[in-house]
Amino acid sequence: MTKRGFGTNFHKVYGSSPETYHTFSSAERFSLRLGKRIQELSSSGVLLDIACGTGHKTNLLSKSFEKVFALDYSAPLLTLARQKYGRNKKLNFLGSTATHIPLLDESVDTALVTWGSFPLSQTLREIKRVLKVGGSALRIGACVEDEFTALFPSFDIKRINRINKTFISQGFVIEHHEVIIHFKNLKEAKEILNKIVGVSKESITKTVFKHKVALCYYKRT
């Protein structure tokens, strides 16, 4: 049987401690190469960030777009996102599931997913529905066991491969990149990884984790 979040506590923390999730999300840094590729592959105009969480990446990426929709189905995460980034007038928050995106057909230039996990085929259908012709979809997710995913209690590479193959079968191209998870200090690394991943504090002895990711991208023709 597949374990939700590979046995981690991510989904529990979204409701019980959104600030904890925000600290984790803020520690994630795209490599320069990945950041550059996201810029190159995006179509400027309207960005839809699906499963935006607390909006850390949405806010950073908003500079390159005219209007941004930040969608998530977690009310606590979206409340925190509004508190953190509500002053950014480009951002429009949508409390909704990814499987029913409350936007018109062909209204989005770039759809982005960073580490969202949801019913894939319905979500991909929705992404293709809302994308304009010429628009781009980008998704970042795990692709191998690495020093971060090795911390997960039930990391399942076969499941990851199935997910990435689904993107390929839907016309996405995959590139491999790196994200650095960089905590401020050892205390923060221990606390956050203990709460979110469920590992013991004693087992965490460093502040930087290299996370190998797949960047899947698609251009609507």
Ligand X SMILES: C[S@@+](CC[C@H](N)C(=O)[O-])C[C@H]1O[C@@H](n2cnc3c(N)ncnc32)[C@H](O)[C@@H]1O
| Positions in the binding site for ligand X (CB under 6 A) | 10, 14, 25, 51-53, 56-57, 72-74, 77, 97-99, 114-116, 118
Nearest approach, Cβ of 99 to ligand X (angstroms)? 6
Our CB check for ligand X shows the closer of 41 and 52 to be 52
To the nearest whole angstrom, how small is the minimum distance from the Cβ of residue 141 to ligand X? 9
Minimum CB distance to ligand X, residue 112 (Å): 8
Beta strands 131-142 and 208-219: pairing type?
Answer: antiparallel
CB 199 within 8 A of CB 151: yes
Selection from 114, 137, 110, 140 nearest residue 125 by Cα: 137
Q: How far is the CB of 58 from ligand X (least distance, A)?
A: 8
Bridge partners, 209 (sequence order) = 181
Q: What type of residue sits at position 172?
A: F
**Which two tokens mark 95?**
């409390």
C-beta of 80 vs 189, nearer to ligand X:
80
> What three-state secondary structure class fits 109?
strand
Nearer to ligand X, 99 or 194 (CB): 99
Cβ 109 vs Cβ 135: under 8 Å: yes
Q: Which of 82, 70, 75 is nearest to 14 (CA)?
A: 75
CB of 6 to ligand X, least distance (A): 11
State the CB neighbour count (10 A cutoff) for residue 195.
21
> Closest Cα partner for 94 from 146, 130, 43, 136?
130
Nearer to ligand X, 75 or 134 (CB): 75
Beta carbon nearer to ligand X, 52 or 204 = 52
